[in-house]
Amino acid sequence: MSRALTILFGAIIGLSLGFVAKSLITKVDSAAQPSARFLVTTSCIIGAIVSDLIFLRFSEIELRFCFAILCSGLLVQSLIDIYTHRLVRQISHIMAGSGVLLLGFNAIDNSSSNLLVSAAVCATLGVAISVVSNKISGGSLGAGDVRLMAVLGWHLGFLDYSAAMWALFAACVFASIFGVAMIVLRGGSWQRRIAFGPFLTLGTLTAIFVNEVSSYTFMT
């Protein structure tokens, strides 16, 4: 019963996030005309699925809250990035603040300070990788992507180093596949800029919930 309520609550939260995303998209770029129905429907479905995955993945309440905030922020940021190619700084700050507080509390409560060390290392590496990649690619990544990489590095590093590495690898693979598909189907070019936020989100969700998704596949 609690799992069903979690899914329902996630769907309701997702519904709300869809309206939030539409409002922020309009504020960031008044010329953007996103479909409210698409945003709300997509957010509702994703909210229901991700809430169930969080319920299955984590047992401690602070971890559930922390990664629920992270996934909510990633959903909104991804939708904004798709339509405007920008990320909202305040959302990244909220994810960062909640991550530091909740994960810090969890580590102290479980006497696992080593988790905070790995989180800090991955957050630092996330910034370093994004800065280097930005210079190599001639400025294709913005400051918002750098902040987001730090936030994701902190959360994923808290889980383990491999989660952070797999998230970045998956994000690059997803972005590459999408870029090649756009070139083939629409006659684009390698210089065309794409929103990287959604691919960071996909990579992160893959790294965090791969085992839970696999269990869905093999359910009888």
pLDDT of the chain, 220 residues: tens digit per residue: 588 899 999 999 999 999 999 999 999 988 888 888 999 999 999 999 999 999 999 999 999 999 999 999 999 999 999 999 889 999 999 999 999 999 999 999 999 889 999 999 999 998 888 777 767 666 666 677 788 989 999 999 999 998 988 998 888 888 888 877 877 776 655 455 677 889 999 999 999 998 777 666 555 4
Distance CA 63, CA 59 (A): 8
Cα angle vertex 103, ends 89, 68, to 5°?
Answer: 60
> What Rg, from alpha-carbon coordinates, does the chain have?
17
pLDDT tens digit sequence for 155-203:
999 999 989 889 988 888 888 888 778 777 766 554 556 778 899 999 9
Q: Show Cβ contacts of residue 144 under 8 Å, excluding neighbours closer than 6 positions.
A: 81, 86, 87, 88, 89, 92, 197
CA dist., res. 155 & res. 165, Å (int): 12
Instruction: State the residue range of the domain holding 6.
Output: 2-217
Cα–Cα distance measured from residue 208 to residue 44, given in angstroms and rounded to the nearest whole number:
20
Q: How far is CA 31 from the centre of its chain?
A: 25
Distance CA 211, CA 191 (A): 36
User: How many other CB atoms sit within 10 Å of the CB of residue 2?
Assistant: 7
Within 13 A of 177's CA, how many CA atoms are on the CB side? 9
CA distance 120 to 124: 6
Count of domains forming the chain: 1
Residues 6+ apart with CB under 8 A from 196: 81, 140, 141, 145, 171, 175
d(Cα 212, Cα 205) in Å, to the nearest integer? 11
Helix intervals (H) in the chain: 2-28, 36-57, 61-84, 89-109, 113-136, 143-159, 161-186, 197-217
Q: Kindly report the pTM of this predicted structure.
A: 0.89
